[in-house]
């Protein structure tokens, strides 16, 4: 008589165990597969700091995990609690770091507030339950239909008789699945980049800074130098002194202003995806990806040498999805707006979610050395490059903007120009995870802050560097960071131009300003004598 009771007891134990396994699989899969990092990156480039990105991503994955547990067990309450556990695993380390920072705060940083901390814990528990419950509720509503569809397929296979009415539900479920597979990635691009991101792929990008609706049909062809009054970026060579000059200057001849017009190529460039030895220990891979764009007409064995633009720490695929970068480069080079150049995209992937392009204090990651020495040396030895600092630039957006500034300042004899889009210029300001490579060490944070390093370079190195700073002045954080850095550059004798973007931090800003930024860099290379025979 006890056997049924034992069976029910074992079943009662087995059901939550199955749910726990499903939640662990979803959470672990999100971490191992890079889905969590990809979601965080997407949210960061949309304007969220890294801690908020981790919070949102953790809630979303917890909801998915709870839904999976519900589909496997039909136990909604258990699945909700298990989803909450998954949320705790994902966001717990960030919360503990934030708690530690709050406990250590004093003086102008404020002091720890116990009641506020308790309210934060209560809020996290509440939103974690809500996210998990939402996934559970959706799964409970879908589960009967999915079971019935599965039974219909099983019965059809067993009977070997095609009953169209019986298979309507399986076909409907399959159709919904196909629609989700097709449309969810597109919706992600629409939210992450712009709603028209898929409409424009393969289309000609804008060249230069032309406001919407302000195209003049009588304007001269692309490449003709002309003065501009709406932007500090110009297609004419910039002055070599500090800051931006507002004094009108006579336009140079086209040959002098754009010497590459005599050898400009046409056609389409190509992109090679390469793997180098990873500059980290304990990451998800022992190799690191770089992607190298070579321009139309590129020949390594030819006599022509090319300037190189470096980007870090975002992948080429991300840039191409966000900005259609290959078509942009092809179009700008074909039109003669910029010289043919190589562009190298340097991806991260080590133990730190935010590399900050730094050599970490625990010696687990050495991105600064990798980018400034290893990658540049590899590119110079394998491609036809102009191997001098004045023909190399670093570009990046958000964290990449910080990287562009600090890499140029750390390696002034390697990189001559920095092009930060909506960057920050003090190490650790990108959120709690941006502090991790520096271990919270004040000396390490100072040594990695462009605002500090820019004051420490000797005058001879300052005069050789050039900055193209892009930001929307009125945007909180990014706008003020750019303004402070520009003031410092002017006071310290650096040469720079500043573009006041009309759109805030994000890929729309890059899409609109990137062509003009490259034109400004090209003009600077002319003034630096890069293209002299």
Q: Where are the domains of the chain?
A: 13-192, 254-527
pLDDT attached to residue 244 = 38
Mean pLDDT check: name the lowest of 91-95, 207-211, 277-281, 369-373: 207-211
**Do residues 54 and 94 make contact, with C-beta atoms less than 8 angstroms apart?**
yes
pLDDT band (50, 70, 90) for residue 103: confident
Give the closest residue to 248 by CA, choosing from 267, 265, 234.
234
pLDDT band (50, 70, 90) for residue 126: very high
Model pLDDT for residues 291-309, shown as the tens digit of each residue: 999 999 998 888 899 999 9
pLDDT attached to residue 316 = 94
Angle, CA of 529, 386 and 533, to the nearest 5°:
45
pLDDT attached to residue 7 = 47
Name which residue leads in pLDDT, 526 or 506: 526
Cα gap 247→435, rounded to integer Å = 42
Name which residue leads in pLDDT, 174 or 473: 473
Average pLDDT, the chain: 81
Tell whether the model's pLDDT for residue 6 goes beyond 80.
Answer: no
Model pLDDT for residues 322-372, shown as the tens digit of each residue: 888 999 999 999 999 999 999 999 999 888 888 999 999 999 999 999 999
- Cis-peptide, bond into residue 45, ω within 30° of zero: no
Q: What is the mean predicted confidence (pLDDT) over 109-138?
A: 89
Tell whether the model's pLDDT for residue 284 goes beyond 80.
Answer: no
Distance of CA 388 to the CA centre of its chain: 27
Cα gap 242→495, rounded to integer Å = 4
pLDDT attached to residue 231 = 35
Model pLDDT for residues 35-84, shown as the tens digit of each residue: 887 777 667 655 565 677 789 989 999 999 999 898 888 888 898 999 99
Tell whether the model's pLDDT for residue 191 goes beyond 90.
Answer: no
pLDDT band (50, 70, 90) for residue 245: very low
The residues that bridge with 498 in the sheet, in sequence order, are: 469
Cα gap 278→348, rounded to integer Å = 9
pLDDT band (50, 70, 90) for residue 254: very low
- Spatial neighbors of 246 by CB under 8 A, at least 6 apart, are none
pLDDT attached to residue 13 = 53
**Do residues 423 and 414 make contact, with C-beta atoms less than 8 angstroms apart?**
no
Task: For tokens 């960030």, name the residue.
Answer: 94
CATH classification number, 254-527, choose in 3.40.120.10, 3.40.50.1820, 3.40.640.10, 3.20.20.140 = 3.40.50.1820
Helix pair angle (76-104, 50-73), 10° resolution: 160
The percentage of residues in the chain with a pLDDT greater than 90, rounded to a whole number, is 51
Give the closest residue to 221 by CA, choosing from 135, 90, 334, 140.
334
Cα gap 395→189, rounded to integer Å = 22
Task: For tokens 């008789």, name the residue.
Answer: 161
Cα gap 390→404, rounded to integer Å = 15
Cα gap 126→132, rounded to integer Å = 10
Tell whether the model's pLDDT for residue 248 goes beyond 70.
Answer: no
């Amino acid at each position: 008589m006890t056997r049924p009771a034992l069976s029910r007891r074992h079943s009662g134990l087995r059901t939550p165990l199955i749910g726990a396994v499903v939640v662990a699989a979803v959470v672990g899969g999100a971490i191992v597969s890079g889905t969590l990092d990809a979601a965080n990156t997407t949210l960061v480039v949309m304007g969220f700091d890294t801690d908020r990105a981790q919070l949102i991503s953790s809630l979303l994955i917890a909801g998915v995990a709870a839904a999976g547990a519900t589909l496997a067990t039909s136990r909604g309450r258990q699945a909700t609690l298990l989803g909450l556990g998954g949320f705790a695993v994902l966001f717990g380390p960030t919360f503990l770091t934030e708690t530690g920072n709050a406990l250590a705060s004093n003086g102008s940083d404020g002091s720890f507030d116990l009641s506020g901390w308790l309210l934060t814990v209560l809020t996290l528990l509440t939103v974690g339950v809500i996210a998990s419950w939402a996934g559970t509720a959706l799964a409970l509503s879908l589960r009967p239909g999915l079971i019935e569809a599965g039974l219909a397929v099983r019965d059809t296979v067993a009977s070997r008789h095609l009953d169209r009415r019986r298979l309507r539900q399986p076909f409907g479920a399959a159709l919904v699945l196909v629609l989700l597979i097709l449309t969810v990635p597109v919706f992600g691009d629409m939210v992450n980049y712009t709603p028209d991101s898929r409409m424009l792929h393969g289309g000609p990008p804008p060249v230069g800074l032309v406001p919407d609706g302000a195209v003049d049909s009588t304007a001269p062809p692309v490449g003709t130098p002309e003065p501009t009054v709406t932007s500090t970026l110009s297609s004419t060579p910039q002055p070599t002194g500090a800051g931006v000059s507002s004094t009108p200057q006579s336009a140079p001849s086209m040959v002098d202003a754009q010497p590459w017009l005599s050898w400009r190529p046409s056609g389409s460039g190509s992109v090679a995806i390469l793997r180098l030895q990873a500059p980290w220990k304990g990451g998800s891979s022992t190799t690191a990806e770089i992607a190298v764009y070579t321009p139309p007409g590129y020949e390594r064995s030819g006599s022509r040498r090319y300037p190189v633009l470096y980007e870090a720490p975002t992948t080429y695929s991300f840039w191409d999805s966000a900005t259609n970068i290959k078509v942009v480069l092809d179009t700008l080079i074909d039109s003669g707006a910029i010289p043919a150049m190589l562009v190298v995209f340097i991806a991260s992937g080590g133990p730190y979610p935010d590399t900050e392009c730094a050599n970490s204090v625990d010696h687990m990651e050495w991105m600064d050395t990798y980018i400034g020495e290893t990658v540049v040396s590899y590119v110079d030895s394998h491609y036809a490059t102009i191997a001098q600092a004045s023909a190399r630039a670093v570009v990046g957006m958000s964290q990449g903007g910080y990287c562009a500034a600090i890499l140029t300042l750390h390696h002034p004899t390697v990189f001559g120009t920095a092009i930060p889009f909506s960057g920050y210029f003090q190490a650790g300001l990108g959120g709690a995870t941006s502090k991790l490579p520096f271990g919270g060490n004040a000396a390490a944070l100072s040594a990695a802050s462009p605002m500090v390093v820019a004051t420490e370079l000797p005058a001879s190195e300052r005069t050789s560097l050039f900055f193209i700073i892009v930001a929307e002045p009125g945007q909180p954080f990014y706008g003020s960071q750019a303004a402070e850095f520009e003031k410092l550059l002017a006071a310290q004798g650096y040469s720079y131009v500043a573009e006041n973007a009309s759109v805030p931090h994000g890929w729309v800003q890059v899409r609109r300003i990137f062509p003009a930024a490259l034109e400004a860099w090209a003009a600077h290379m002319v003034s630096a004598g890069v293209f002299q025979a």
